[in-house]
């Protein structure tokens, strides 16, 4: 019965490649989503670009090749340099991208906080009941009212996971994966998730997302393996149950951001998340109150 339900609940992955659409030097933008998270990607052209954004929870802003100014929410303006991850408190914000700047804005989707028009909206017309909800946010222990800047080159990966730089907000966590040249094909990491989706945001380089649907007793439900080639920018969202791993291919620089909401509590418990000391999990708050 369980195996049959698993196969019945197979959902197709989101595979969005914006390479052609975002070619050139002009301004460009797109939005996409998972069930629990939203991604907005913006690039300024030869002139500065102003972008508005808002969230009921903390936002994560990924700043790439040029600075982004952050203003609004009743706070003093802040400049986020290139190669910085900024964590913004909940509220309404105005982002000012310097000429040539690129950024991605990540936020969780809780309740009715999903009013944008993501490219893959149709994939979530029917929610997947197997996906755990975002739930109560983590409590910020220090600096929660401020914009916090984390230069990615100062973020340390854990000794256990040297390829991954992990960060969190109150409702999300990410893995920053960065390397030059193709990934070692003898050291891939196929795996699946039972109760959450994973987004993989390609920001630099070319990738092949390898996806396999486990077989169940009903052969009519079986699917061929997928080996989806996506450039940058791109977004892959892998559903519950699908075996997946991502391979950076071809020469050049690769940056891939894995996105999870709620935060990966298992990674936090293992001590792998760089800024986890800034947060208390909801269960910890309950224990303290008791």
In a domain, 289, yes or no: no
Q: Which domain holds residue 190?
A: 11-112+136-279
**If we measure between CA atoms, which residue out of 76, 75, 36 comes closest to residue 57?**
36
Residues of the chain with pLDDT under 50: 1-7, 286-290
In a domain, 38, yes or no: yes
Q: What's the pLDDT score for residue 113?
A: 55
- Dihedral Cα 208, 60, 150, 286, nearest 10 deg: -110
In a domain, 187, yes or no: yes
In a domain, 284, yes or no: no
Between the two ends of the chain, the Cα-to-Cα distance in Å is 40
Q: What angle do CA 202, 248, 17 make, to 5 degrees?
A: 35
Q: What's the pLDDT score for residue 76?
A: 85
Q: What's the pLDDT score for residue 221?
A: 84
In a domain, 127, yes or no: no
In a domain, 130, yes or no: no
Q: What's the pLDDT score for residue 111?
A: 65
In a domain, 18, yes or no: yes
Domain count, the chain: 1
Domain CATH for 194: 2.60.120.10
In a domain, 119, yes or no: no
Buried b (16+ CB within 10 A) or exposed e, 174-185: bbbbbeeebbee
């Amino acid at each position: 019965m369980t195996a049959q339900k698993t196969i019945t609940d197979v959902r197709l992955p989101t595979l969005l490649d914006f390479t052609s659409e975002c070619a050139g030097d002009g301004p460009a933008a797109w939005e996409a989503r998972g069930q629990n998270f939203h991604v907005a990607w913006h690039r300024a052209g030869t002139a500065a670009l102003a972008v508005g954004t808002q969230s009921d929870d903390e936002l994560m802003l990924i700043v790439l090749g040029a600075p982004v100014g952050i203003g609004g929410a009743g706070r003093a303006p802040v400049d986020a340099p290139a190669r910085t991850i900024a964590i913004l408190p909940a509220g309404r914000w105005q982002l000012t991208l310097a000429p040539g700047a690129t950024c991605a804005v990540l936020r969780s989707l809780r309740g009715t906080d999903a009013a944008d028009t993501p490219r893959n909206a149709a994939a979530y017309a029917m929610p997947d009941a197997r996906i755990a909800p975002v739930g109560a946010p983590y409590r910020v222990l220090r600096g929660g009212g401020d914009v916090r800047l984390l230069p990615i080159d100062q973020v340390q990966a854990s000794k256990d996971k040297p390829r991954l730089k992990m960060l969190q907000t109150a409702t999300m966590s990410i893995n920053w994966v960065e390397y030059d040249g193709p990934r070692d094909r003898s050291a891939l990491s196929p795996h699946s998730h039972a109760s959450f989706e994973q987004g993989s945001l390609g920001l630099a380089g070319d990738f092949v997302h390898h996806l396999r649907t486990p077989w169940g007793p009903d052969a009519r439900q079986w699917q061929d393996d997928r080996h989806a080639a996506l450039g940058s920018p791109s977004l892959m969202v892998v559903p519950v149950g699908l075996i997946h791993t991502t391979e950076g291919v071809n020469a050049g620089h690769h940056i891939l951001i894995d996105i999870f909401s709620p935060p990966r509590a298992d990674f936090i418990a293992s001590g792998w998340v760089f800024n986890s000391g800034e947060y208390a999990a909801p269960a910890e708050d309950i224990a303290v109150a008791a």
